Chains A and B, each alone.
Chain A
């Protein structure tokens, strides 16, 4: 029941803002409603930690002999960290968005944020596959409704069908996984995904995260900097990450070739994304790469048979990332706050990501593990670089924002600490302390090298300082083109056009004047073929 109360509270707050804004617009009132709704929900989710695991059965489809579905919600150690991260993000967005309270569109954005959080929480709490499928569709529908009007005359609207096409494909993959799972275990719960179906669940989550296969449809679109836009981008990620956490331990155990292939693809995705994150123009432009890099870490944990370890990297993606992304406008005096966000993914003993190393590197240290360690180093370097390079013209804030804005960032850091201390059994651990230390040392060495050379890290991306700039840029551009899957869409388009030419010709013949005769010929041929196989008495 508390689960429903939390969801209802968020939805009611969202509706209240919409109604209040429609009847008598007042930004401060809308903001207060949003904040109160989000704060109580945050507290509710935090308190749920005391009652884990808990579930809420909704209903079963009848007759039960004909359906395998019993819709229920469940909260356990796998999804609770993500739920808390998501509600924290929502609350932080509302806190930090107080700097934009002068905009008349803000109340609508807050209402959207609350509704989006509620629907994504539903996806996170889903206990059975069909509940998750429904929640994903709701998330996509809501995202579509809140995205499309703003892109009415925007050419990035042309990319929306690709984005939603990938989402639909991921939903249908999940539906296929459900059917596949039912073949061995009818009515299974998400906490016990059959290994046969695991690959479908992995692909479904991978598609939504943009990792498996790597796809970056919005790469060329400018990333919006405001908080609600960040929530819009990160909340579906949370619900996908929660699926990865629940993947079976023996995922692809019987198919070593596929397992190896997926590991290679994931490693490539992680390395590429970490590299792009490090060299990105600024944190907002590089945001998709942050998501892909850490999502790859989570997927690698699942591929290494330690899916629960992915919680560490998933939480880091949401929390550390949002600490940095929400630091806008960048106020110099509180620059230490986003730096604290590094606690979420640095991986040193007794920090949030310490428990994630074993999953990421696997039981044996291999070349792949070294590459993942390198990717982590690049992420750390990129994070530090973006934090120090943030510049802005804003030197002060309005009186209320001077309190609420840093409070939003502090809230995220505080949640990192909460998850670190008791996010799940074993979250407070020294973990593979060598890995965390190695990554930090490597980052230190690389950073020192550049400072020693008298160059700043950002100079790396400047043309004149990069000897093989042209070759490098061509390679990166080519790689990006491959990863954005534009070649695939163009090839499919070409095949489609050729097929259309043939198909339309056939269609013209069948629907033309002689169409009936053609059909009769078909009929006679088919009857003859059938009867030819019949022995006469």
Chain B
């Protein structure tokens, strides 16, 4: 028994069982939720030294496993991140039990999560690029359900991920000679450029972002929010692995500046682009881009102590994505013909008050609006940015203001009177849709008012990165 076996091999095996049960969605859902809950709880209670002390003996669980001559290592310090990834899967699988996105959702979500855990654990970590490509391919059935024409955005997603794979592997090849060249060698600069472009393609940085709004528009909101949420969370931490492992990379003076400007451009661009959207579902793509921008901004402030805020952003951000996915899926379930085009959104509040407000709340939360869970961390990030890179502040402000404009445009549409006295949807918003929203509001509110209750635990995600400035 080893930690990779518990959190990677067994989940993949269990996903195989779930695949066999795909014709029994209810049972499959229950099994997935119970199983992932077990993985989350286990990851949270597992001793950090991976040792169980019994009265007469001490049992140590190995932290590594060798597969195909590559080592997969999950140390005790990495378990918080593992718990977070499986918690995300658990949350979305609960959602799937209500919305029934796809019969393969349970199995695939579990495999994809296990693969993301592998991405963060494989040694040498450059091989993670292959796994990320595999994740992209496994996402296809979720993003493009059977019977539907393959979407252009999905194809583009695969193309960009493949290009990123090439760039990252090329970096690996270039780095094989690093020990033999002087520190100031241009080879290092080229390698870092390749690496950064590889990352830019992975995370959908401008101008490689087009697939994000496209798949947000055409695919099921719950599936998109899960896949992009998992990807963003894992890749943010994966980038830290690079910075932690390669001293030459983090010591390059241009690296943090480049990351900062890339992040700021993404924040500004996403806000501007969001205001131009005619389709509600496409906003999600731009929200993801904005949040990736904030992640890069936090990483770029590593020497000034930006990383703790990155770690504490992860969970609240995921909750906001979930709220978004839930609300859109709810509207689509109650109104299967809903296209989310601007014209069809008029007066949505009067038909679905809570679902429409959930959309706005999730957007405001991601914007970092007060009394919502991303506010405490973003407020501190704004402070750090103002102190250390004041030249970027106007762009961050513009990005925020235009995103606020996009939210207000939606608000105006939602509350628009329909001409005659309207009454809520005759069928109403069923309790199974409303209760989770209310619970989510309460959790988000609690996180915003008292971030000290849950979020400090998220700082443990940073424990493995011993070479980076954490506090």
- Listed in ascending order, the chain A residues whose CB lies under 8 Å from chain B are 59-63, 65-69, 71, 130, 133-134, 136-138, 148, 151-155, 157-158, 160-161, 164-165, 168-169, 171-172, 175-176, 178-180, 182-183, 496, 499-500, 503-504, 507, 510-511, 513, 515-516, 518-520, 522-523, 526-527, 530-531, 534-537
Whole-angstrom distance between the alpha carbons of A526 and B186 in the complex? 17
B371 & A62 in contact (Cβ 8 Å cutoff): no
A61 & B451 in contact (Cβ 8 Å cutoff): yes
B273 & A179 in contact (Cβ 8 Å cutoff): no
B386 & A534 in contact (Cβ 8 Å cutoff): no
A157 & B190 in contact (Cβ 8 Å cutoff): no
The 8 Å CB contact of A519, one of B160, B309, B417, B419, is B160
Whole-angstrom distance between the alpha carbons of A523 and B411 in the complex? 37
- Contact pattern, B 355-398, Cβ under 8 Å of A = 1, otherwise 0: 00000000000000111000110011011001100000000010
- With both beta carbons as reference points, the residue of chain A lying nearest to B201 in the complex is identified as A523
Whole-angstrom distance between the alpha carbons of A169 and B350 in the complex? 25
Asked whether A67 and B417 contact (CB < 8 A) given A511-B210, A523-B197, A537-B186, the answer is no
Q: B1 CB to closest chain A CB, in angstroms? A: 35
User: B149 within 8 Å of A by Cβ?
Assistant: no
Contacts of B207 in A (CB 8 A): 510, 518-519, 522
The 8 Å CB contact of A134, one of B197, B409, B449, B459, is B449
A157 & B422 in contact (Cβ 8 Å cutoff): no
Whole-angstrom distance between the alpha carbons of A142 and B97 in the complex? 33
A171 & B421 in contact (Cβ 8 Å cutoff): no
Q: Looking at chain A's contact residues, is the secondary structure mostly helix, strand, loop, or mixed?
A: helix
Number of interface residues of B (CB under 8 A): 64
A537 & B380 in contact (Cβ 8 Å cutoff): no
The 8 Å CB contact of B450, one of A59, A68, A151, is A59
Asked whether A152 and B156 contact (CB < 8 A) given A157-B417, A507-B273, A536-B186, the answer is no
B471 & A515 in contact (Cβ 8 Å cutoff): no
Asked whether A507 and B214 contact (CB < 8 A) given A519-B208, A522-B207, the answer is no
Asked whether A499 and B376 contact (CB < 8 A) given A155-B417, A171-B370, A179-B382, the answer is no
Whole-angstrom distance between the alpha carbons of A179 and B193 in the complex? 34
A65 & B471 in contact (Cβ 8 Å cutoff): yes
B159 & A172 in contact (Cβ 8 Å cutoff): no
B417 & A152 in contact (Cβ 8 Å cutoff): yes
6 chain-A/chain-B pairs, Cβ below 8 angstroms: A138-B371, A168-B369, A176-B382, A183-B383, A511-B153, A518-B207
Contacts of A169 in B (CB 8 A): 404
User: B179 within 8 Å of A by Cβ?
Assistant: no
The 8 Å CB contact of B451, one of A67, A138, A515, is A67
B386 & A180 in contact (Cβ 8 Å cutoff): yes
B404 & A168 in contact (Cβ 8 Å cutoff): yes
Contacts of B201 in A (CB 8 A): 523
User: Which residues of chain B (176-221) have a CB below 8 Å from chain A?
Assistant: 185-187, 189-190, 193, 197, 201, 207-208, 210, 213-214
User: B148 within 8 Å of A by Cβ?
Assistant: no
Q: Looking at chain B's contact residues, is the secondary structure mostly helix, strand, loop, or mixed?
A: helix
Asked whether A61 and B452 contact (CB < 8 A) given A175-B370, A537-B185, the answer is yes
User: B308 within 8 Å of A by Cβ?
Assistant: yes
B190 & A161 in contact (Cβ 8 Å cutoff): no
* Extra A-B contacts (17), CB below 8 Å, given A183-B386, A510-B210, A534-B189: A61-B452, A67-B376, A138-B371, A152-B422, A157-B415, A158-B412, A161-B411, A161-B412, A164-B411, A165-B404, A168-B408, A171-B370, A172-B400, A183-B387, A511-B214, A518-B207, A519-B160
Q: A142 CB to closest chain B CB, in angstroms? A: 12
A160 & B415 in contact (Cβ 8 Å cutoff): yes
Whole-angstrom distance between the alpha carbons of A182 and B207 in the complex? 35
B379 & A62 in contact (Cβ 8 Å cutoff): no
- With both beta carbons as reference points, the residue of chain B lying nearest to A530 in the complex is identified as B193
Whole-angstrom distance between the alpha carbons of A69 and B371 in the complex? 13
User: B436 within 8 Å of A by Cβ?
Assistant: no
Contacts of B213 in A (CB 8 A): 511
Whole-angstrom distance between the alpha carbons of A226 and B448 in the complex? 36
Contacts of B273 in A (CB 8 A): 503, 507
Q: A218 CB to closest chain B CB, in angstroms? A: 15
Asked whether A63 and B376 contact (CB < 8 A) given A180-B386, A531-B190, the answer is no
Asked whether A59 and B371 contact (CB < 8 A) given A523-B197, A523-B208, the answer is no
Asked whether A153 and B417 contact (CB < 8 A) given A503-B276, A522-B207, the answer is yes
Whole-angstrom distance between the alpha carbons of A504 and B387 in the complex? 36
Q: B20 CB to closest chain A CB, in angstroms? A: 37
Contacts of A59 in B (CB 8 A): 450, 452
Q: A32 CB to closest chain B CB, in angstroms? A: 31
Whole-angstrom distance between the alpha carbons of A523 and B193 in the complex? 11
